[in-house]
Structure 1
Amino acid sequence: MTTTRPLIVEDLYRFAVPGQPALAPDGGQVAYTLTTQDAEHDRPVSSLWLVPATGGPAAPRRLTHGPADSAPQWSPDGTALAFLRAGQLHLLPAGGGEARPLTYREHGAGLPVWSPDGGRIAFAAVVGRPGPAEPLVVDRLGKADGEGLLGPQRTHLFVVEVDSGRTTRVTGGDVRITGLPAWSPDGTRLAFPAAVGPDADLTGAVGAFLVGAEEEDAVPRPVGPAGGLIRTVDWYPAGDALLLAGRTTLATGHDALLRQPLDGSAPTALTTALDRNVMPGGPGYPGALPQFHGEKGGQIVFCARDRGATRLYGLGPGDGSGPGDGFGFGFGEIVELPLPPGSGVSGCSVAARAGAGGRAALAVADRSSFGEIDLLDLATGELTRLTAHMAQALPEVTLHPVTEREFTIADGTRVHGLITRDPQAPAPGPLLVDLHGGPHNAWAPHATPVHLYHQELVSRGWTVLTLNIRGSDGYGEDFFTAALDAWGESDEQDVLQPVAALVAEGLADPGRIALTGYSYGGYLSCWLSARSDVFAAVVPGGLIADLPALAATSDEGHEIGHAEIADAARQRELSPLTHVDGVRAPTLILHGAADDTCPAGQAEQWFHALRTRGVPVRMVRYPGGSHLFILAGRPSHRVDYSRRLVDWVTEHTAR
């Protein structure tokens, strides 16, 4: 009989999590990254792996040893992989051999995008960044998390010739490219999302732009939409329009798929009927780039979030080219592609070559795994698991079960909650409430490698409650925007009333309730600890305490001040510092020292306010930690974060 045990925090050092799948053009094999942890050097390690797309007994094989290899992309003929190694472009023969560098840029290169003929690779790269000892001259707004003020730094588009290594800077002027470039089908033009012009820092607008692939230092030509926020750009297979992911205004709301004519006229929204947020993917926001599929590229495969999980969808031909195939969806029709309930997608790659079998390689997390590589047959819906890295790395570990339920708030709003607990644990017992960030992120009903303290606390008899409160993604745009201009006020009952329900049901001990959250969850933890006496211990991470101060200090402060809480008086009213006299609960503050999204000064303000009022408080700053250090920072810091949280809430809720 096999003996299993629950996950502990220190198991992080044994994690092996695949991602960034890239399906070969013929659909026959999948390249991907595998992220592990190097305890000796206290760093995450990423390497490239390859697995046949046939399923069965074929084992994945390692292509590189890292420690910082990522973003594999197949050449159009399937003979080579371009990838990033320590921030520089490299080329690796698909059949094996040594990788050779293609770039030697001081500040590195962006993700590679092959030209249709395989002779060139386009990428974005930073220019104008001053050296560490040089004066920083600032005449534009702009910060980057973990880097600080951008100053004269811009991001331009480059093209490197694969054979010669000759590199050309294609764009010039005041340009900040914000996403991947895309080659036109004939290889003559490049499209990309960018903020362009002297006032782009003030407006926050990101549009779609074009430039000739053979040009040098060219001023990009705007395509549209003006005054919008575009995340990704691709070409329709006929080369007559662009496929955009984003929105046409700067107002907070769902991102959509848009068909943008090349003449700059208004785009057509393709996913309005879905009422879900399109997810092109990013750190902490799983998803994948929209991709064309099917006969003549008539269908679009894309990700959107539903009830907290990022799911895969298909959109029938949106340009009138003809009926759909595969799952039977036709002109403009959207269907959810078949994945196991509760699972979530964090990467997708569709076979590029016509007749490659209609396959998509996916990175899929579920309730037993943080992520594995799966193959989806887009014609039949058959899903085949190709890897088993978690089972091999942690064969003796079983994760605690998650139960979904809904809570009805007094005003009739329904809030989706997730409860993690050992069914054999005595009740009532201690309860941890964990609040997500964003504020427009969401808890997913599958395993996560980030919040390790959940599993360990449940092993100690705790119940963990996570809630997708007002503002969360995956429940329609009205719910998504329900906390605008009302942070804390609009959603506090979405937390307090479900907690009261668990107490009334006899599941939670009213004297042993703890509260934590990160980013917006850190803000709301501070807010609730100031306005409620429900919580016996509070652990805000990456917090916000003083909203007005964000405008000048956060990389998202200008956006928050325009799109979330525009009125200065409301910002003061909704700041936890305004209500700090109400805090009584012992508070542990956990914060990255190099956080430029929720700057470390916010944690210092909260610490000072509590300490000078006699509230038991401790602050822990993680050296070099950006806002995302809990996702991909030093493993020792991630373990320390979870360990300190477990110890704090356990100590301050002890009977």
Structure 2
Amino acid sequence: MTPLPDLAAVERLQRPSDPSVLPDGRAVVYVVTTVDTEADEDVSRLWIAAPGTTARALTHGRHDGAPRVSPDGSRLAFLRPVDGVPQLHLLPLDEPGEVSVLTGLASGAGAAVWSPDGSSIAFTAPVDEVSGATEEQGATTHRPVVIDRLGYKNDGAGWTRSARAQLHVVELGTGVPADADDDAHRVAPETGRCRQLTTGYADLGPPRWHPDGDRLVACGALGEDADLKLSSAAYEVPVTTVDGPRPQEELRRLTPEDAMVVLADWHPDGSRLLTVGRADPGLGHLHVLESVGGTLASLTVGLDRNVMPGGPGYPGGLPQVSVTGDLFLCARDHGSTGLYRIPAGAPGSTGRAEPVRVPVGAPTDGHTEVSGLSLAARAPVAALVVADASSYGEIQLLDLDDGSRTTLTSHTADSMPGLAPCRPEERSFAVSDGRTVHGFLLRPDGVSGPTPLLLDVHGGPHNAWSPTPDAAHVYHQMLVAQGWSVLLLNPRASDGYGEDFFLANVGRWGTGDQADFLQPLARLVDEGVADPARLALTGYSYGGYTTCWLTGHTDLFAAAVAGGVVADTVSMLASDVGHPTIGLELGSLDYDRLWEQSPMSAVDQVRTPTLILHGAEDERCPAGQAELWFAALRARGQRPELVLYPGASHLFILNGRPSHRRDYSLRVVEWLTRHVDPRPAEKEPS
């Protein structure tokens, strides 16, 4: 096997995600994403895999996703765009049949949540309840945007205006047949099939059905000043409505109003809620919380690891209860995300238990990444998406009784034959304040002496580097193939090392974790691994912040690439998550405290040739941050370069245009190789 020499190999990669196991555990439906280079877009289709068979494509749309199998295993609900917005579709699984359209909402629909008896599907959908503009005023998109609270924009979606996610339900039985390969699926379903259940000014999260099938639970941040707090709660929503949608203020709250509940589901016996969140809103680990009578008790307090429900850029999967009553969840430890179990009945009267780890992942080195979880309703089986050091992710079935695993797919080997990513070396470094910084070193095969080395800083700041490869950072593999080493460190604030480590950089951005980068680099120089004259720096999001910060506080690096940057912490209040997150992370909203932790405070000291890469429609780290850093450097006589990607959000390096993702990696490699001499400096004669 040879390392990846360029981007063409990864653009052939088949990337599995979002598994949905059939109730009897005999097969898994999941999403496979590939790149259509000519159309410059990702293509996602639904596949099905089962033991003893070859995985195959189940649908042939261009953007199919969010597969959800019905409780009896006979039907599949999924999302497919209609006129540019996602709508729910239905496909028979037990016998050949046509695709039917279930929804025809103007702003589209969210992922399906099946009722226990399979007769209905609940989902969220955006609803703009403010009357639209008159003809004289022009189209809705040109109306002035009136803002009176925070949360008025979302990265990837832009201005939310007055649209809010509301709960809906659709009864099944009269969908409109549609051929997946023609325009018939664009016919709207019969009117009256879909009912809106809630109305109000706040977004409600994905619903879950009570086992009785008569009500839902959904989470949201309701209240007059909810935009100023991290508080959120779970609310009960009756499915039967008489006079139309129920106002959100009339919903029954099921959890304390001063907690932070981001996801909720009923226990299969219907007696209590299982939620993901915190009993005290603020920074720190997420827990699985049990709610009985409105009181929250953590089931994972003894784990001292962050519960990982999964999301864009983050591995994991939603906590779920198995057919045997055990609770399964995902958590990250030292960069590897694994599956954990709390046995049925273990919490007892205290509501606390020490989770038992299920043995998943590579049997030799344990380097794994679980990025999808689905438990069978009638069998002790779990479906997972698992990556290891040589795989970008495969579908596995896990026997929950004996821990045995069956890998159902070979997407990495099938789509990239003869190629394999470079395997990382696990490293730990002691730093001067007594902490240990853990990470991974990618090193060219057969090289013993010092090489040029790239330090790449992850985002978050509470994310973490994994020992498994990912398609968003192909430049790692490209540089290793050219003789570079790449260092991936998980400094303080990284997830997977305990809550004390998770919170160790609060109010100390830049100053707190600077040694976590510079001292390991010095160690590698002393070991003869890295050439001190050929060190480079990059990072994205918080890593972009760190790139700006470090280049203002050291001349150690010969070149730097700052992606998705934070240049000025003061103006980060304008981010879509600016408040209260920035105040909590930086310890205060006091201007002096914010400025002390701002890269702009030391921009006069930057001498490192810097390339800045940023999405032009980024709302998480607004594009003005990149423009500010570029302008400040250029005004001081530096020669920076700024690249803005039109239409790209903060997450474009994960799910943006393939041409943008390709360009990003190529520019990183080109900038570093242009400014860092590929040859070691000649030693002066003694």
Which TM bucket (shorter chain)? over 0.9
Structure 2 partner of 1:190: 216
> After the TM superposition, which residues 161-176 of structure 1 pair with which residues of structure 2 at under 5 Å, given as runs?
161-164=171-174, 166-176=193-203
Structure 2 partner of 1:83: 78
CA contact (8 A) 2:300 2:352 kept: no
Selected match of 2:30 from 26, 29, 32: 32
CA contact (8 A) 1:316 1:331 kept: no
Aligned amino acid, residue 27 of structure 1: G
The secondary structure found in structure 2 opposite 1:547 is coil
Selected match of 1:13 from 11, 28, 33: 11
Aligned amino acid, residue 605 of structure 1: L
Structure 2 partner of 1:158: 168
Structure 1 partner of 2:359: 338
Structure-1 separation of matches of 2:149 and 2:561: 35
Selected match of 1:442 from 423, 447, 464: 464
1:301 aligns with 2:301: no
Structure 2 partner of 1:98: 98
Structure 2 partner of 1:386: 408
Structure 1 partner of 2:682: none
Distance 1:321 1:467, change over 3 A: closer
Deviations 1:250-304 (A, max 9, x none): 220000000012x32x211110000000011100011101110143xx2101101
Structure 2 partner of 1:279: 308
Aligned amino acid, residue 347 of structure 1: G
Structure-1 separation of matches of 2:553 and 2:28: 51
Report the aligned-residue RMSD: 1.6
CA contact (8 A) 1:318 1:332 kept: no
The secondary structure found in structure 2 opposite 1:502 is helix
> After the TM superposition, which residues 199-348 of structure 1 pair with which residues of structure 2 at under 5 Å, given as runs?
199-215=225-241, 216-218=244-246, 219-261=250-292, 263-264=293-294, 266-295=295-324, 298-318=325-345, 332-340=353-361, 341-348=366-373
Distance 1:320 1:544, change over 3 A: closer
In the TM superposition, residue 562 of structure 1 has moved relative to its aligned partner by 3.0
In the TM superposition, residue 7 of structure 1 has moved relative to its aligned partner by 4.2
Aligned amino acid, residue 221 of structure 1: R
Structure-1 separation of matches of 2:672 and 2:410: 34
CA contact (8 A) 1:31 1:49 kept: yes
Aligned amino acid, residue 194 of structure 1: G
Selected match of 1:639 from 646, 655, 662: 662
The secondary structure found in structure 2 opposite 1:621 is strand
The secondary structure found in structure 1 opposite 2:162 is coil
Deviations 1:63-119 (A, max 9, x none): 111211111111111100001112111001113332111111111111110000100
Structure 1 partner of 2:635: 612
The secondary structure found in structure 2 opposite 1:450 is helix
1:626 aligns with 2:649: yes
The secondary structure found in structure 1 opposite 2:383 is strand
CA contact (8 A) 2:576 2:619 kept: yes
Aligned amino acid, residue 118 of structure 1: G
Structure-2 separation of matches of 1:457 and 1:636: 19
Structure 2 partner of 1:50: 48
The secondary structure found in structure 1 opposite 2:479 is helix
Distance 1:522 1:572, change over 3 A: same
The secondary structure found in structure 1 opposite 2:534 is strand
Deviations 1:206-246 (A, max 9, x none): 21111111134223211113222222111012211100011
Report the TM-score, using the length of structure 1 for normalisation: 0.94
Q: Could you tell me which runs of 5 or more consecutive residues in structure 2 were left unpaired when the two chains were aligned.
A: 133-139, 176-192, 680-686
Structure-1 separation of matches of 2:347 and 2:659: 54
Deviations 1:329-348 (A, max 9, x none): x9934111111201110001
Selected match of 1:522 from 538, 541, 544: 544
In the TM superposition, residue 180 of structure 1 has moved relative to its aligned partner by 1.8
Structure-1 separation of matches of 2:197 and 2:257: 22
In the TM superposition, residue 148 of structure 1 has moved relative to its aligned partner by 2.4
Structure-2 separation of matches of 1:318 and 1:613: 65
In the TM superposition, residue 140 of structure 1 has moved relative to its aligned partner by 2.1
> After the TM superposition, which residues 482-501 of structure 1 pair with which residues of structure 2 at under 5 Å, given as runs?
482-501=504-523
Structure-2 separation of matches of 1:140 and 1:598: 19
In the TM superposition, residue 149 of structure 1 has moved relative to its aligned partner by 2.9
1:585 aligns with 2:608: yes
Aligned amino acid, residue 539 of structure 1: V
Deviations 1:165-218 (A, max 9, x none): 6111111222311x3211000001100111213321122322111111113422
CA contact (8 A) 1:361 1:373 kept: yes
CA contact (8 A) 1:317 1:331 kept: no
CA contact (8 A) 1:7 1:399 kept: no
Structure 1 partner of 2:159: 149
In the TM superposition, residue 387 of structure 1 has moved relative to its aligned partner by 0.3
Structure-2 separation of matches of 1:331 and 1:93: 42
1:136 aligns with 2:145: yes
Report the TM-score, using the length of structure 2 for normalisation: 0.90
Aligned amino acid, residue 132 of structure 1: T
CA contact (8 A) 1:316 1:333 kept: no
Structure-1 separation of matches of 2:261 and 2:208: 14
Structure-2 separation of matches of 1:246 and 1:407: 32
CA contact (8 A) 2:298 2:352 kept: no
Task: List structure 1 runs of 4+ shifted beyond 3 angstroms.
Answer: 318-322, 330-333
CA contact (8 A) 1:12 1:639 kept: no
Structure 2 partner of 1:458: 480
In the TM superposition, residue 163 of structure 1 has moved relative to its aligned partner by 1.4
CA contact (8 A) 2:263 2:277 kept: yes
CA contact (8 A) 1:138 1:152 kept: no
The secondary structure found in structure 2 opposite 1:451 is helix
Structure-2 separation of matches of 1:305 and 1:408: 21
Q: Could you tell me which runs of 5 or more consecutive residues in structure 1 were left unpaired when the two chains were aligned.
A: 323-329
Distance 1:593 1:318, change over 3 A: farther
Distance 1:93 1:476, change over 3 A: same
Structure 2 partner of 1:561: 582
Deviations 1:312-364 (A, max 9, x none): 00012257689xxxxxxx993411111120111000111012xx2x1101000
Structure-1 separation of matches of 2:316 and 2:251: 28
CA contact (8 A) 1:19 1:34 kept: yes
Deviations 1:366-404 (A, max 9, x none): 111111101100101101110001101110212112000
Aligned amino acid, residue 290 of structure 1: P
Structure-1 separation of matches of 2:547 and 2:504: 19
Structure-2 separation of matches of 1:269 and 1:531: 42
Structure-2 separation of matches of 1:99 and 1:421: 49
CA contact (8 A) 1:5 1:396 kept: no
Distance 1:203 1:154, change over 3 A: same
In the TM superposition, residue 60 of structure 1 has moved relative to its aligned partner by 0.9
Identity among equivalent positions (%) equals 50
CA contact (8 A) 1:350 1:361 kept: yes
> After the TM superposition, which residues 499-510 of structure 1 pair with which residues of structure 2 at under 5 Å, given as runs?
499-510=521-532
Structure-1 separation of matches of 2:387 and 2:609: 35
The secondary structure found in structure 1 opposite 2:456 is strand
In the TM superposition, residue 535 of structure 1 has moved relative to its aligned partner by 0.6
Structure-2 separation of matches of 1:462 and 1:348: 36
Structure-1 separation of matches of 2:239 and 2:518: 56
Distance 1:471 1:162, change over 3 A: same
